Structure 1
């Protein structure tokens, strides 16, 4: 299938509604969210929608960066980025925790907080960027847009001399080969009920390699 070329944009708060819709559609079938928000219990879609809404809203309230892909002004891919010095702010917010409790319930909020802490526990010492959420809209998957999004993220993170690289996690085994082909190394594995969440790291080039390039 020929590659579809998208435009890379830094996204501001005017994109919040589009980002929330895209990430809801991207995550509602993901095994990690199925476990965290109890897909076998009524109200799962509402819990996923509420969680994505609260994460995206808090991300922009904290003035954190977001990178998007657009085709003809339609948002088709997005990554929320947490810089090293800000990566704990969202889940430490009591207002965010209260909204999560009210919309997803105590058990799902506790599962999410434990999952988040376990991911952070896999990180070695040092400054890293984290990707709390990223996705390509299901209508546009299979068009190499995930690769374009990763390349844009890597280029953007490389500009930060205070970061050692980029960390993401996935419980979807069909993505592992894709990430490994793009230079990701496994830092650790987390047990989430029946799910095995893989924490992956993409190192920034060393300064001498940047100069050589």
Structure 2
């Protein structure tokens, strides 16, 4: 039985951590319902594995271009888990410029994905971000993953607590939203204070939209901040 890892630190990832992030998240999401639906079984099919790695690589690049944050949990120099979060009220000019630069990263992805997959990705974004996300300023947890061999050892808990601490300290945010296609995750996130805000479907795949609302004292601090 593998011992619980000693988490030495949670720190923001740099561009030099890309290879570690892609390797970790490709494994962490290999059994994810959405990834299986979009890309196929990456544990059995080389084409599916290549598509998953290409998509995760794109998500990592996107995070830097659009000024999202990527945080990782380390044991010594080994990356055990990571998450990407979109921050509220990002500078609009920066996002526009980042979006233009992102086109260069998108082109290679187009050659690795089928038209159907790209269509489904766009449809998924419309379902989750456009129609289900709360209108108030908030963080959005894009993805969070842990090395499969050490899942259940406290790494995911440490990452979520780190995220929520940062959200609670951010006066511009009223909370954090996320979407999951795995019903078991709903119970896990509820333990951290998330509530199920909407249950919908995406091309017959169930989608659970959840939101963590900051406590009353945090909300009062936020109101004082914007009124001043």
RMSD over aligned Cα atoms: 2.7
Partner of 1:113: 122
Partner of 2:173: 163
The DSSP-based 3-state class of the residue aligned with 1:112 is: helix
State the Cα distance separating 1:48 from its structure 2 match: 1.1
Q: Aligned pair 1:51/2:71, yes or no?
A: no
Q: Aligned pair 1:98/2:86, yes or no?
A: no
Structure 2 distance, partners of 1:210, 1:21, is 41
The farther-off stretch of 27-36 and 91-100 is 91-100
Structure 1 distance, partners of 2:205, 2:99, is 22
State the Cα distance separating 1:87 from its structure 2 match: 11
Task: Provide structure 2 residue ranges, at least 5 long, that are not aligned to the other structure.
Answer: 222-228
The DSSP-based 3-state class of the residue aligned with 1:131 is: strand
CA distance 1:178–1:91, change in 2 (3 Å): farther
Task: Provide structure 1 residue ranges, at least 5 long, that are not aligned to the other structure.
Answer: none
How many residue pairs match? The answer is 211
The farther-off stretch of 184-193 and 16-25 is 184-193
Partner of 2:15: 13
Q: Aligned pair 1:129/2:129, yes or no?
A: no
List structure 1 segments (4+ residues) > 6 angstroms apart after TM superposition.
none
Counterpart contact for 2:178–2:209, Cα < 8 Å? yes
Structure 1 distance, partners of 2:165, 2:176, is 11
The farther-off stretch of 202-211 and 13-22 is 202-211
Structure 2 distance, partners of 1:172, 1:128, is 23
Partner of 1:142: 152
Structure 1 distance, partners of 2:76, 2:220, is 33
Give the structure-2-normalised TM-score.
Answer: 0.82
Counterpart contact for 2:137–2:172, Cα < 8 Å? yes
- Structure with more contact order per residue of length (Cα contacts < 8 Å, sep ≥ 6): 1
User: Could you give the per-residue CA deviations for residues 159-185 of structure 1, whole angstroms, max 9, x where no partner exists?
Assistant: 210001111111112222111111111
The DSSP-based 3-state class of the residue aligned with 1:197 is: strand
User: Could you give the per-residue CA deviations for residues 93-118 of structure 1, whole angstroms, max 9, x where no partner exists?
Assistant: 54454333222121101111110121
